[in-house]
Chain A
């Protein structure tokens, strides 16, 4: 937590008057309209990244004051309270107290509150007022408040809290000008709210603050804020893994005080929360007037249908199918376009470069490799369009409400719903969506099983194999398709259950979810979500995937034979394929399949292209049937077919369960912040895939199939 050096640098960092630009942090409860406000203030000028070490998104943007001065805005994750319960929640505290080396301590705080729900939002507000920084209180959603019969006396709020109050409607940009004006003020007042603590606590706080001042030589207000945060957290350093540890002299002292307080009153923290609400109610009485709301509200009416005991589930199911269908059907056209663009790029390079190693590398390695992945950009965009839409309207919370029981049965959190749904398109956004799950164990379980929801990268493999098993017969194809999706999902649920019973034992995860009223999302917010994802996705294609493609190309093309030509059987990849034969023979695969199998550990789609290259088939776009024909024609040296239905089925089952995706491994590494989990995942999924494929192949042969 805060260290001496940090505070000292803090004292010597230039203040707002000398620093080139002011820095404001945007803080607020989830659903207060923070994102909308942030996007409204910064336009598209924002940087999205990650706080190193914690899976929390870091958003920064620049906005301009009414006088044209640059202001830096730091968006903090939405939170109900400053008391952190998990590392991702501790970010807000760390930034606000200037503990992180990568972010300067802000000059002021913009506290966003939902005006229609101010009683609760003021709880966080008053915590922010005690940090010794100027605060601008933004009363957002004034329109909603008016509708709900809530009237707010802004002047009374300003008087009793000593802060500047600005009323806004972030969605239509109303009030942003006033907010900018307030941000440009040089003489923003320091809050005058004071939490009158019961005497025991007051003494404890004073003593801790005094100790901190002795050790760290910091201003009084800063020390009091730190003291408060130290006292209310029981395991501070665990919660703040990426900032310098607090000096021992402070932690032991705080620990001692905490023990004394607990002896006096076991539930002292809860008591303080209650006390804060009581003191707040005096402010609320003066400033807020609530007329009884007209019921049913529009949200009540919509929910009586969407959460109906009967229709609720049905509508949710239809919606999921619809999104699923849209992702597949709407993406076909743009995917063809991207395919054509990369084909054109390859042709152009072919036409302008002399034949040789460089051209091979660029066309067969780089362009083919990167193009094969970028082709899935439309799916990512479409998926996140729907995710942003469902989140923006408030339907996501309803879906979780409907399905919570089901997920609960296998030990999954209700919030695992979205990550798992997303994983049908691609495990990567799915795993990233698991960030919203607050408990670390439940997040891990979700991440561990997410790649079993059959993703779209497996589709090319499924298509080819299904075509090889059952040419024609549409209903067999459909049944096979359903089969692979079903076993994947069933496997995910079964293993989630298993993990919860063994590795991730813990209390059954709880649910504390706010049910927001339905709202219209803004197009800007939806667009920003899609653009953010697209940027991250393309960045990956240009780095990891590009590198892998080059390596792969090399191993398939070298060493060249005496005539200087590539011979796959003798290439490094071919040799490895042969070496693997003893391992994969029980599954029914030959050395050429092994190359594809191994290559597709980089990305599953690679299997199809590897097969196409090896069997010298022109892989003409989506026309995979021709490849299937070729596969069906392949014979072993004794004349028996290589790709029998049983072999194809065994291959499909292997692809359902194996983790053949470097990007997933990389993302899991990033999200869990260690190599342990991705390696464990890789191991258990590969072993299970192997056993499942073995069972299918050997079992099938025992039953007399071939």
Chain B
């Protein structure tokens, strides 16, 4: 069983597969160029002590994003 959730709501240690982007995504091109393409596996590593931004892990590297952006990224979790 799987459900689709915004990346911003995924807890550290959990992971999923990138499903889609919402219409309002800013910097969509940039995110994709960095390898955040649908089908890609992402894991949330940690949230900054002050609550924002978050660190996510892709194949081979970690990326930091603000939650406002992560909100637009939909992830399918098992």
Interface residues of A (CB under 8 A from B): 80-81, 83, 85, 116-120, 123, 148, 150, 267, 269-270, 273-274, 277, 290, 303, 307-310, 312-313, 397, 400-406, 408, 414, 507-508, 510-516
Contact = CB atoms under 8 A, between A and B. Distances in A.
Interface string B24-39: 0011111111110110
Contact of B65 (A120, A273, A312, A511): A511
Contact of B29 (A273, A303, A312): A273
A398 B1 CA distance: 36
A405 B49 CA distance: 9
Contacts of B22: none
Given A277-B37, A512-B63, A405 B48 contact: yes
Contacts of B76: none
Contact of B34 (A397, A400, A512, A516): A512
A118 B59 CA distance: 9
A303 B52 CA distance: 16
A405 B64 contact: no
A681 to B, nearest CB: 28
Contact of A120 (B27, B28, B34, B69): B34
Given A404-B66, A510-B69, A270 B49 contact: no
A402 B64 CA distance: 11
A150 B59 CA distance: 11
B35 A307 contact: no
A273 B32 contact: yes
B32 A274 contact: yes
Instruction: State the 9 A-B residue pairs at the shortest beta-carbon distance, nearest first.
Output: A405-B50, A117-B60, A515-B62, A273-B32, A309-B49, A513-B64, A81-B33, A120-B35, A274-B37
Given A123-B33, A401-B48, A408-B52, A514 B62 contact: yes
Nearest to A118: B60
Of B30, B32, B58, B69, chain A has the most CB atoms within 10 Å of the CB of B32
A402 B50 contact: yes
Contact of B30 (A85, A118, A406, A414): A85
A510 B53 CA distance: 10
Given A510-B26, A511-B53, A117 B61 contact: yes
B66 A270 contact: no
Nearest to B68: A508
B46 interface: yes
B55 to A, nearest CB: 6
A113 to B, nearest CB: 11
A119 B37 CA distance: 12
B40 to A, nearest CB: 8
A494 B17 CA distance: 41
Nearest to B56: A515
A560 to B, nearest CB: 63
Nearest to A513: B64
B29 A270 contact: yes
B66 A408 contact: yes
Contacts of B29: 83, 85, 269-270, 273
Given A83-B33, A270-B29, A511 B60 contact: no
Q: Which of B26, B32, B33, B53 has the most CB of A within 10 A?
A: B33
B66 to A, nearest CB: 5
15 contacts: A117-B60, A120-B34, A269-B29, A307-B49, A404-B52, A405-B48, A414-B53, A508-B68, A510-B68, A510-B69, A511-B69, A513-B63, A513-B64, A515-B61, A515-B63
A414 B32 CA distance: 22
B77 to A, nearest CB: 19
A307 B46 contact: yes
B48 A402 contact: yes
Contacts of B27: 510, 512
A514 B63 contact: yes
Given A313-B49, A513-B64, 7 more contacts: A120-B58, A150-B60, A404-B64, A404-B66, A408-B52, A512-B31, A512-B34
B30 to A, nearest CB: 6
A515 B34 CA distance: 13
A270 B32 contact: yes
Contact of A507 (B26, B32, B51, B61): B26
A123 B35 contact: yes
A116 B62 CA distance: 12
Contact of B53 (A117, A118, A150, A404): A404
A406 B51 CA distance: 10
Interface in B2-49: 26-35, 37-38, 46, 48-49
Contact of B52 (A273, A313, A405, A513): A405
Contact of B28 (A80, A117, A267, A507): A267
Contacts of B60: 116-120, 148, 150
A654 to B, nearest CB: 35
Contacts of B28: 267, 270
B55 A401 contact: yes
A414 B50 CA distance: 13
A554 to B, nearest CB: 54
A692 B14 CA distance: 52
A400 to B, nearest CB: 8
A512 B48 CA distance: 14
A83 B29 CA distance: 10
Contacts of A516: 61
B35 A277 contact: yes
B29 to A, nearest CB: 6
Contacts of B68: 508, 510
A509 B32 CA distance: 18
Given A309-B49, A402-B49, A405-B51, A515 B64 contact: yes
Contacts of A270: 28-29, 32
B48 to A, nearest CB: 5
